[in-house]
Amino acid sequence: MAKYAHIIGWGKGLPRRVVSNDELAQIVDTSDEWIREHTGIRQRHVVSEGEYLSTLALAASQQALARAQVAPSELDLIILATSSPDYQLPGGSTLLQAQLEAPRAAAFDLRAGCSGFLYGLATASQFIHSGMYRHVLVVGAEIVSMVLDWSDRRTCCLFGDGAGAVVLQASDAPGGILSLALGADGTQYDALTVPAGGCRHPLNHETLNSGLQYLQMNGRQMLKFALRDPLQGVLRVVEAAGLTMADIDLLIPSQSNVRLIEAMSKFLGVPMEKVFVNLDRYANTSAASVAIALCEALETGRAKRGDNVALMSYGAGLSWAASIIHMGELGEMPMAAAWPVLHRARSTINRARVMARTASAALAANASSLLLPFFTASHKDD
């Protein structure tokens, strides 16, 4: 029975239209200088007429399958992580299955916000570890622009649209996804929401007139969460893989804010030279964020065969996820053969180390005054 899930193909899909900070400054009270200084973002891709989530997901999937040299007919499963499918029903995964002409593949959507792509990797890897499936396509795709209030300068500059995809293949050779950790804190669900569109607040004149169809975010709450649980998750998956932070060749976090990424880099002890950042060109693409970044890291050689890559995401829910992926097959590596059960055998000492590092990260949430201007309700006086 195959035990390891290897990434053998990757791709991305982006809208044609690029919206610069200067263009945004023409419709809201902001500036290119302010957005760059506080977020690191200089542009984002936004869908235009004739482009849908299925358009972006299909482009990313076709690239990934071509690189993997896997025919659509060989796919056993398609997992589409998104909160913005073409239709309320059916889900976007079955449309993607039809467009790819992958009749053998089961298909379902997975909804976990910005953490969705890593939740998808975790789900796919379990199907592979069990021996049920050999080839799984995992796609993270999002059209955030559809829920943005383009008159709200607190949110409209932060997000973009896009899709990223990977093909996982079962293998008996150690390597690929070495460890995973998932988590959520539902008590903070209201930190990032789109209130309207569900059964609690159906779309009607009242909800539309109240602006409940738009994304709403409590930035300070998101900041504190991001500097706590996701960092703990990274430390956990590093230890579960039998590694140390020094063994990590590249860290790919959610592409939300460059100042936040710099703070995370500092508290994890990973120099920024080993952190992949592309939010300057794409902004935060939610479920597609880490997927697009991983694709670009592989395309540009920032992640290459033999590297240990740490992935980390966080977002609506509030949810978080982390993973260690070894690109290619492992050579000699401590505990490599035993990694699937390491999470059940972590020692009390290791848990104490994780908690100690997490405490440091929590302190950062209270001390990160440089980040707070970005998360205030207004930057009129900044």
Q: How is residue 84 written in tokens?
A: 């913005």
When pLDDT is averaged across residues 284-307 and rounded to a whole number, the result is 96
Of the candidates 33, 155, 136, 14, the one whose C-alpha atom is nearest the C-alpha of residue 80 is 136
Helix (H, G, I), strand (E, B) or coil at 39: helix
pLDDT tens track for 179-227:
999 999 999 999 888 888 888 998 899 989 888 888 888 888 998 999 9
41-50, 115-124, 188-197, 287-296: least confident range: 188-197
Residues 221-277 have pLDDT tens digits of 998 999 999 999 999 999 999 999 999 999 999 999 999 999 999 989 999 999 999
The domain limits of the chain are 4-177, 178-201+217-375
Considering 35-39, 69-73, 185-189, the range whose residues carry the highest mean pLDDT is 69-73
Which residues, including other chains, have CB under 8 Å from residue 229's CB and lie 6 or more apart?
Answer: 183, 185, 314, 318, 320
Packing angle, helices 53-68 and 92-100, rounded to 10 = 50
Helix/strand number for the chain, H first, E second: 13, 13
Rounded to whole angstroms, how far apart are CA atoms 349 and 353? 6
CA end-to-end distance (rounded Å), the chain? 59
Q: What is the pLDDT of residue 199?
A: 87
The whole-angstrom separation of Cα 214 and Cα 199 is: 16
pLDDT at 28 over 50: yes
Average pLDDT, the chain: 88
| Structure-model confidence comparison of residues 61 and 196, the more confident one | 61
| CA gap 37, 33 in Å, rounded | 6
**Residue 151, amino acid:** S
| Cis upstream peptide for 318 (omega within 30°) | yes
> Burial of 346 by CB count in 10 Å (0-12 exposed, 13-18 middle, 19+ buried)?
middle
- 233 touches 320 (CB < 8 A): yes
Which CATH fold topology does 178-201+217-375 show? Peroxisomal Thiolase; Chain A, domain 1 (3.40.47)
> What is the spatial distance between Cα 304 and Cα 8, in angstroms, rounded to a whole number?
12
130 SS3 class: coil
For 334-350, write each residue's pLDDT tens digit: 444 444 434 343 443 34
Nearest CA to 115 out of 147, 78, 145, 83 is that of 83
Average pLDDT over every residue of 3-14: 96
Q: What confidence score (pLDDT) does residue 153 get? A: 87
pLDDT recorded at residue 92: 97
pLDDT (tens digit per residue) in 117-167: 999 999 999 999 999 999 999 999 999 999 999 999 889 999 999 999 999
Cα 179 from Cα 324, distance rounded (Å): 5
- The pLDDT of residue 197 is 86
At the second CATH level, the architecture of 4-177 is 3-Layer(aba) Sandwich (3.40)
